[in-house]
Amino acid sequence: MHIHVSNLNSNLIESDLQRMFSKYGEVSSVELVRDKLNNRSLCHGFIDMPVRRDAEQAVTCLDRTDIKGKRINVAEVVYDPSPHASWSHSLKA
């Protein structure tokens, strides 16, 4: 499952995200989005977890939690197969 994390503290690094999500299961990849010019964090990233149940638990448990002074947002990324498809956040309640 592909997960988007936003509103991250700018001091977090990939290993911090790996540690946070691996508490819930296997993490296959972590990507922290960075500014191409200065390599600073843009305060959001993507996590891939191969086991859906583990990923859903991570989303449920980590969404809207305070991490290093920031309330993070965690949501599944879903692909819209329509003609002008793009990655977007699911709007699960």
pLDDT over 50 (residue 93): no
Cβ–Cβ < 8 Å for 88, 78: yes
Q: Which domains does the chain have, with CATH numbers?
A: 2-79 (3.30.70.330)
pLDDT over 60 (residue 11): yes
Please compute, for residue 52, the number of CA atoms within 13 A of its CA located in the half-sphere on the CB side: 2
Nearest-angstrom CA–CA distance, 18 and 62:
13
**pTM over cut 0.75:** yes
pLDDT over 80 (residue 88): no
Structure tokens at 56: 């859903």
| Tens-digit pLDDT profile for residues 14-63 | 999 999 999 999 999 999 999 999 999 999 999 999 999 999 999 999 99
Residue 81 amino acid letter: P
Residue 10 CB partners (closer than 8 Å, separation 6+)? 40, 41, 43
